[in-house]
Amino acid sequence: MSNSAASSKSVIWDWITTVDHKKIGILYFLTGLFFFAVAGLEAILMRIQLMFPEMSFLGEQTYNEILTMHGTMMLFFAAMPIFFGFMNFIIPLQIGARDVAFPFLNNLGYWLFLFGGIILNVSWFTGGAPDAGWTAYAPLSSNSPGHGVDFYVMGLQVSGIGTLMSGINFLVTVINMRAPGMSMMRMPLFTWSSFVTSMLILFAFPALTIGLLLLMLDRIFGGAFFDVGLGGNVVIWQHLFWIFGHPEVYILILPAFGIFSEVIPTFAKKRLFGYTAMVFATLIIGFLGFMVWAHHMFTVGMGPVANAVFAVATMAIAVPTGIKIFNWLLTLWGGRIRFTVANLFALAFIPSFVMGGVTGVMLATSAANYQFHDTYFVVAHFHYVIIGGSVFGIFAGVFYWWPKMFGYRLSEAWGKWFFWLFLIGFHLTFFVQHFLGLMGMPRRIASYLDGQDLNDLNFISTMGAFLMGIAFILLVINVFISRKNTTNVNDPWDGRTLEWSIPSPVPHYNFAQTPLVRELDGLWFEKMNGDGRMKAAEPLDEIHMPNGSILPFFIALGLSIASFGVIFTSWIVIIVGLLVTFAAMFIRSIKEDHGYHVPVSEIKADQEVEK
Amino acid sequence: MENLTALDPRGPVAEMQMSLIQLSLYIMIFVIVIVFTIYIFVLIRFRERPGDTHIPKQVHGNRALEFIWTTIPILLLLLLAIPNVMDTFTLADTGVPEEGVDEALLDEDEAVEDYLVVQATGHQFWWEFEYPDLGINAGQDLYIPTDTRIVVELEASDVIHSFWIPSLAGKQDNIPGITNDLWFEAPEEGIYAGKCTELCGPSHWLMDFKVVAVDPETFAVWAENMAEPDEELTEPSGEVAVEGREVFENNCIGCHAVGDEGSPTGPNFTNFGERTVIAGFLEYNEDNLHDWIRDPESLKPGNDMPAFDENTISEDEMDSLIEYINDLRVLE
């Protein structure tokens, strides 16, 4: 065996077993981007099908499967993991920590997410993907023939465990691992919003877990929770799903709000306007996010009292969101605004998201919602907030943090082409859908009849989708052609927060010495009032680091095997899978692992190289 | 062109909803104009100019501004929330006394004099309309008298569907095991498009229905003939049609009823000849009817109707069957 083969094997081993939050972050991020591309391709297939009336490009059944997978993949396996990637990579750096609180759990969370995504997608090759929509309303889901919905249930269940772990991990990390002087009210907004996001995960995901459990029992083990004939109730699923599902959309938007709150101050060269108001607005949005789930259910017959209460509660969310918008505008006011690609996405977010926000208030108007509900108006609304908010946030974060994560800068020129094509494509695709909805086009239809005046706008919408697809290809090209831009990567944007105080790529122990934080925007404070470097809070000393482990991989693998056992109702496979999981957990419990120490000499050598 | 769009309301309910949509839109345009004005001003005024290296003043915030942009949105939302709550209660009140309520106790103003109750049941992928007070069962076409409050009781037999007539009324869901209701009125005669708006399977997109609003006199005739078809109307007009009735009785009557004969498993056929479309979406002509009976699955995937090939119904029998079905009318 040659040397390179041996080293490449050890590289793979290193990435599988890693407990380094930066590597796990990159794994989340790249896997998420891959799933994003897959789900995006599914969206384009759907738009091709809807380009002309009565197209037969995809059959109805295939269309419903792609529709379901697009939503499920985008939310659970693209947007959330990409944000998890950023959170993993950035939170410890922003709070001056050397890792997350539970590195082992972090690794486990990633493998559960990846295996969950694989389980879900295996359905394509075993007789058909889930076809009941990402909301999987019973009894359509509980009666859906074949195994498609079973894959949905088990894929989400497995990845959901991982998500819950990650949420707990981030909560503990933020509470316990902050560097000296990094008080809660000095935390960067991205860390704050990730913290609130993690709280939402902690309280929202159990509702999904229960819902999926009931659905699994109904589908596979003869339960009757959603079987009306046996006394079941199908609306229970909708409540459980949306008690999870509404906070879920805030799980997707709050980290993006956090990214904008980093990017806008950096490129306006101004401190975030109204920091305290921003923090409390984030907390209020998170809290209200749990109070409004039934606005997805105005038409299920909850009665006028419930509808009125949930309508008003939903409208209330516009207030803290408005506070945020105005604070961002006032951050820009009086600044020196640089139009980098990262900032272009942040700036494009403001009008795009406002448009998605106002249609949100319109949808909250319960009596009018009877017209909007389940039409393309809703499709337009949630793509305006999810793309105009979350995805723009992701792309802003991609261009902003890429040098820190990968050690090179993405091309600004290619990035601007990408930005403009994506922005135009996005508005072209979704703006017209508001009108389609009111003109009588229900959502989730596999095609539409000719002669209903829906043709032109659908064609325009599809053209927009193509533009977004082309734009994404430009991003991928950018990633590959920019690899030589390795100069000026440590602090390319004149950053304000701690992650820009350390080299890129980041040493595996992050901070040679734990920094002392003296003010909000700690690095900026040192640039203005100190020597431009973070003060150390400790003498240079050995650094204690955790060892990698292969056990999380096997814990997750065992659960995945058991999931296939559940899907195909094979008790042997279930037992084998669970044995693998519990064996790995047992080994973890009895094997003592004290980690290792990075010697001072290595740290000093790194610092020499840096100079 | 039949009425499809919610943007052109044709009845009081859709009008109420349209005016609420307009109110919310105006308030939201007001918000958008303010935000966009500040936004554009800021981007132009404070953009980095070449050679500019000044460090902007690091402003912490401003209490007065925070107060303003918290309270003004609250006031704007109240402007929308109050009419919305009122409309929500108005729409929820069908005006029909609930069972078990002593009608004498009801406020006279609240009672609606003239109303017609229809039970709309969603099936994969068609609509059944029952008129319990008139003893009528109809499929796909919802005949209603103009200027009468129509109270629709919504049910579902398999999965969740949703009942939507964009130009007359917003939707409510048809949920298995639960009965929802909504009301609407159609002041003008005409045909209004109705749609299912809850994903219910492969042919969800083809689960359309029609609301046919006719003047009360015509409706009375329709209702009478639907309940007890006139001998002259149901009797096939010619020899071919008589043969067709035999074919129908041998093959179709297990699922489709004409008058009081036959099963309600599939759509009622008493007035089939007056439909404007077949199976909710196919243009009504003999070729389409023929193709539909031969292979319903390829036209509307996932529906429950079996295919009838030439071994079951020969081409000759098909011709007479189609002639018979075409003759099924109650209004002429």
Pair of tokens at residue B46: 């404070």
Pair of tokens at residue B137: 């069962």
pLDDT at B104: 55
Please report which confidence band the pLDDT of residue B75 belongs to, taking 50, 70 and 90 as the band edges: very high
Minimal CA separation from A166 to chain B, in Å: 33
Name the residue among A528, A182, A342 with its Cα closest to residue B58: A528
Minimal CA separation from A310 to chain B, in Å: 10
Q: Please, are residues B331 and B222 in contact by the beta-carbon 8 Å criterion? A: yes
What are the pLDDT digits (tens) for A269-295? 999 999 999 999 999 999 999 999 999
What are the pLDDT digits (tens) for A425-448? 999 999 999 999 999 999 999 999
CA B288 – CA B283 distance, rounded (Å)? 7
Total Cβ atoms within 10 A of residue A306: 16
CA A148 – CA A128 distance, rounded (Å)? 6
- What's at A239, amino acid-wise? H
| CB contact residues (below 8 A), chain A span 549-608, against chain B | none
Put simply, the answer to whether B175 touches A234 (Cβ < 8 Å) is yes
pLDDT at B3: 81
What residues form DSSP beta bridges with B156? B122
Is residue B91 within 8 angstroms of chain A, CB to CB? yes
Q: Please, are residues B137 and B129 in contact by the beta-carbon 8 Å criterion? A: yes
Comparing B56-70, B90-104, B237-251, the range with the smallest average pLDDT is B90-104
Flag whether pLDDT at B98 surpasses 80. Answer: no
Flag whether pLDDT at B329 surpasses 70. Answer: yes
Please report which confidence band the pLDDT of residue A2 belongs to, taking 50, 70 and 90 as the band edges: very low
B92, containing H or E segment: helix B63-92
pLDDT at B97: 73
Total Cβ atoms within 10 A of residue A17: 17
**What is the Cα gyration radius of chain B?**
27
Angle of helix A412-438 relative to helix A376-385, nearest 10 degrees, comes to: 150
Q: Please, are residues A284 and A338 in contact by the beta-carbon 8 Å criterion? A: no
For B3, the 3-state DSSP assignment is strand
Total Cβ atoms within 10 A of residue A343: 22
Minimal CA separation from A446 to chain B, in Å: 6
CA B1 – CA A95 distance, rounded (Å)? 63
What are the pLDDT digits (tens) for B14-59? 999 999 999 999 999 999 999 999 999 999 999 999 998 999 999 9
Which CATH entry fits the domain spanning A3-549+593-610: 2.70.240.10, 1.20.210.10, 3.30.1380.10, 1.10.10.10? 1.20.210.10
What are the pLDDT digits (tens) for B222-267? 999 998 877 766 677 788 888 999 999 999 999 999 988 888 899 9
CA A552 – CA A166 distance, rounded (Å)? 13
Q: What percent of chain A has pLDDT over 90?
A: 96
Tokens 């809660």 belong to: A184
Pair of tokens at residue A563: 């999931």
Please report which confidence band the pLDDT of residue A9 belongs to, taking 50, 70 and 90 as the band edges: low
Tokens 């448009």 belong to: A355
Chain B residues close to A529, C-beta within 8 Å: none
- What's at A208, amino acid-wise? L
Q: Please, are residues B173 and A372 in contact by the beta-carbon 8 Å criterion? A: no
What b-and-e string marks burial along A202-213, b requiring 16 or more CB atoms within 10 Å of the CB? bebbebbbebbe
Please report which confidence band the pLDDT of residue A263 belongs to, taking 50, 70 and 90 as the band edges: very high
Is residue A326 within 8 angstroms of chain B, CB to CB? yes
pLDDT at B236: 76
- Residues A528-533: contacts with CB within 8 Å, 24+ apart? A528/B55, A533/A501
Q: Which residues contact A145 (CB under 8 A, 6 or more apart)?
A: none
What are the pLDDT digits (tens) for B132-155? 999 999 999 999 999 999 999 999
Helix segments in A51-102, DSSP class H: 60-72, 80-94
Chain B residues close to A442, C-beta within 8 Å: 164, 195-197, 204-205
Q: Please, are residues B125 and B204 in contact by the beta-carbon 8 Å criterion? A: yes
Pair of tokens at residue A375: 């039409």
CA A106 – CA A85 distance, rounded (Å)? 11
Mean pLDDT for A13-19 is 94
**Residue A484 Ramachandran class (φ > 0 left, ψ -120 to 50 alpha, else beta):** alpha
Instruction: Give the β-pairing of B208-214 and B141-145.
Output: parallel
**Residue A222 Ramachandran class (φ > 0 left, ψ -120 to 50 alpha, else beta):** left
- What's at A576, amino acid-wise? V
Minimal Cα distance from A373: which residue of B? B171
End-to-end CA distance of chain B: 24
Where do the structural domains in chain A lie, given as residue ranges? 3-549+593-610
CA A225 – CA A228 distance, rounded (Å)? 8
Residue A410 DSSP symbol: P
With the C-alpha atoms ordered B314, B320, B323, B324, is the resulting torsion angle positive or negative?
A: negative
Mean pLDDT for A145-170 is 96
Q: Which residues contact A249 (CB under 8 A, 6 or more apart)?
A: A289, A382, A385, A386
Q: Is the peptide bond before A525 cis (omega within 30 degrees of 0)?
A: no
Minimal Cα distance from A442: which residue of B? B197
Query: Within chain B, what is the greatest distance between any pair of CA atoms?
Result: 97
Q: Please, are residues A329 and B42 in contact by the beta-carbon 8 Å criterion? A: yes
Is residue A439 within 8 angstroms of chain B, CB to CB? yes
Name the residue among B225, B267, B284 with its Cα closest to residue B139: B267
This model of the complex carries an ipTM of 0.94
Q: Please, are residues B303 and B203 in contact by the beta-carbon 8 Å criterion? A: yes
Mean pLDDT for A143-158 is 95
Minimal CA separation from B45 to chain A, in Å: 8
Q: Please, are residues A277 and B66 in contact by the beta-carbon 8 Å criterion? A: yes
Pair of tokens at residue A516: 């002392």
Angle of helix A341-364 relative to helix A304-332, nearest 10 degrees, comes to: 160
What are the pLDDT digits (tens) for A332-353? 999 999 999 999 999 999 999 9
Chain B residues close to A270, C-beta within 8 Å: 56-59
Tokens 């394509």 belong to: A124
With the C-alpha atoms ordered B2, B3, B8, B10, is the resulting torsion angle positive or negative?
A: positive
Minimal Cα distance from A371: which residue of B? B170
pLDDT at B99: 64
CA A238 – CA A234 distance, rounded (Å)? 7
Q: Please, are residues A271 and A495 in contact by the beta-carbon 8 Å criterion? A: no
pLDDT at A1: 38
Q: Which residues contact B189 (CB under 8 A, 6 or more apart)?
A: B146, B213, B214, B215
What are the pLDDT digits (tens) for A63-99? 999 999 999 999 999 999 999 999 999 999 999 999 9
Mean pLDDT for A318-322 is 96
What are the pLDDT digits (tens) for A544-554? 999 999 999 99
CA A383 – CA A426 distance, rounded (Å)? 9
For residue B33, count CB atoms less than 10 angstroms from its CB and return exposed for 0-12, middle for 13-18, buried for 19 or more.
exposed
CA B44 – CA B86 distance, rounded (Å)? 44
> Number of C-alpha atoms within 13 angstroms, CB side, residue B103?
7
CA A39 – CA A72 distance, rounded (Å)? 9
| CB contact residues (below 8 A), chain A span 229-288, against chain B | 232-235, 268-271, 273-277
Put simply, the answer to whether B59 touches A366 (Cβ < 8 Å) is no
Chain A residues close to B81, C-beta within 8 Å: 311-312, 315
Q: What is the mean pLDDT of chain B?
A: 91
pLDDT at B113: 66
Mean pLDDT for B166-185 is 96
Flag whether pLDDT at B319 surpasses 90. Answer: yes
With the C-alpha atoms ordered A535, A541, A547, A548, is the resulting torsion angle positive or negative?
A: positive
Is residue B63 within 8 angstroms of chain A, CB to CB? no
Chain A residues close to B172, C-beta within 8 Å: 299, 301, 370
CA A346 – CA A393 distance, rounded (Å)? 7
- Residue B144 Cα distances to B131, B141, B258, B260, angstroms: 10, 9, 20, 21
Number of residues assigned to chain B: 332
Q: Please, are residues A317 and A292 in contact by the beta-carbon 8 Å criterion? A: yes
Comparing A556-570, A571-585, B96-110, the range with the smallest average pLDDT is B96-110
Q: What is the mean pLDDT of chain A?
A: 95
Mean pLDDT for A300-315 is 96
Q: Please, are residues B143 and B119 in contact by the beta-carbon 8 Å criterion? A: no
Q: What percent of chain B has pLDDT over 90?
A: 82
What residues form DSSP beta bridges with B278? B282
Ordered domains of chain B (ranges, CATH): 1-44+64-93+113-215 (2.60.40.420), 231-326 (2.60.40.420)
| CB contact residues (below 8 A), chain B span 140-199, against chain A | 154, 158-160, 162, 164, 166-167, 169-173, 175-178, 180-182, 193, 195-199
Flag whether pLDDT at A240 surpasses 60. Answer: yes
CA A512 – CA A509 distance, rounded (Å)? 7
CA A314 – CA B172 distance, rounded (Å)? 20
pLDDT at A6: 53
Mean pLDDT for A355-373 is 96
CA A16 – CA A13 distance, rounded (Å)? 5
